[in-house]
Amino acid sequence: MAFLDIQNLEKSFGANRVVKDFNLGIEEGEFVSLLGPSGCGKTTVLRMVAGFETPSVGAILIDGRNVVGLRPNQRNIGMVFQAYALFPNLAVADNVAFGLKIKGVGRAEREARVTEMLQLIGLGEFGDRYPFQLSGGQQQRVALARALAVQPKVLLLDEPLSALDAKIRVSLRDEIRAIQRRLGITTIFVTHDQEEALSISDRVVVMNGGIAEQVGRPHEIYNRPSTRFVAEFVGTLNLLEAEVLDRATGRLRLGGGEVTLGRPVAADRATVAMRPEVLGLGRSGEDDLVLSGRIEDVHFLGSVIRIQASVPGGRIMLDTFNQPGSPPPAPGSVAEFGVNSSHLLVLEG
């Protein structure tokens, strides 16, 4: 049995079912992200695990014990909120010590634990400051230290980085992952940011409409999406409509070219998806499909150049590495774009 085992979980608010038959097993020490658009049910799942919402149906087992029906403070869970939720009238050290004090931990042990936590988050000299004297990133570190101070069995993070600017967000997410690995604590991280979920998770749960569309490791979610929603939601995707010339062999006509996939296709029409990075500028010996089109726009992103082009039947984007000695093609020029058929994902229907 998994360390955190969520079984047949459902939640309804009146006639609105926001979580539908949700199942997930998380191993001890694993970092799992719930990823999805607003309203998909990911925060509701987190709040049910925390004890802030009661499931309509289902069980939540932590280390073999069903915690449904227990109050939040009885579940040995640490939670970090999006809005920090620090006590403005308490100094940093007192904020971190708050949960320990509620649990009745003695003063000496409490002070030692607070010192340890502040050192862990890199704010060892900030114990006497108040939240208003800290930056947003520092406040979120304090919130994390407070959640970890009580030595919870499970750590829950509810979009903890969304209020921070981009540079701090990247830095802090890496710090959170490093601390989680160091402590070996089982963690659920809720986010709508694909890059966050893919970069720091052991596994990702992509949610849509209250269900888990796909559960897998980041590279599986990105490279082998199991549903059309996952394919379109995670990462950037090129979509071209294809005519199926031979269902048995998967021979398709799309974008002004033809390609044989070597695997059956069920319908006479299909949508073919491909990531921008699998397309190459020009043709190579490994390409099964070559599209011709006109460059519409070129975006210089530093190490990567994103090219937008029009081809018969649609528009595509491709990513290519910056070559300092070779400038990118100019908008308005005609070019060829090659791709190997193994990188084509057929979304039928």
CATH 2.40.50.140 residue window(s) in the chain: 236-348
Residue ranges of the chain with per-residue pLDDT less than 70: 348-349
pTM: 0.89
Is the Cβ–Cβ distance between 158 and 82 less than 8 Å? Answer: yes
CATH 3.40.50.300 residue window(s) in the chain: 4-232
Per-residue pLDDT tens over the stretch 231-270 = 999 988 999 999 999 999 999 999 888 999 999 998 888 8
| Sign of the Cα pseudo-torsion (266, 268, 271, 273, in order) | positive
CATH 3.40.50.300 describes domain 4-232: yes
C-alpha distances (whole Å) from 11 to each of 79, 111, 154, 196, 248 are 20, 40, 21, 26, 43
Beta 280-281 vs 334-339: how paired, if at all?
antiparallel
Alpha helices for 35-165 (secondary structure H): 42-50, 92-102, 107-120, 136-149
Reading the block at residue 131, the tokens are: 């939240």
CATH architecture label of 236-348: Beta Barrel (2.40)
Among residues 62, 85, 179, the alpha carbon closest in space to that of 131 is found at 85
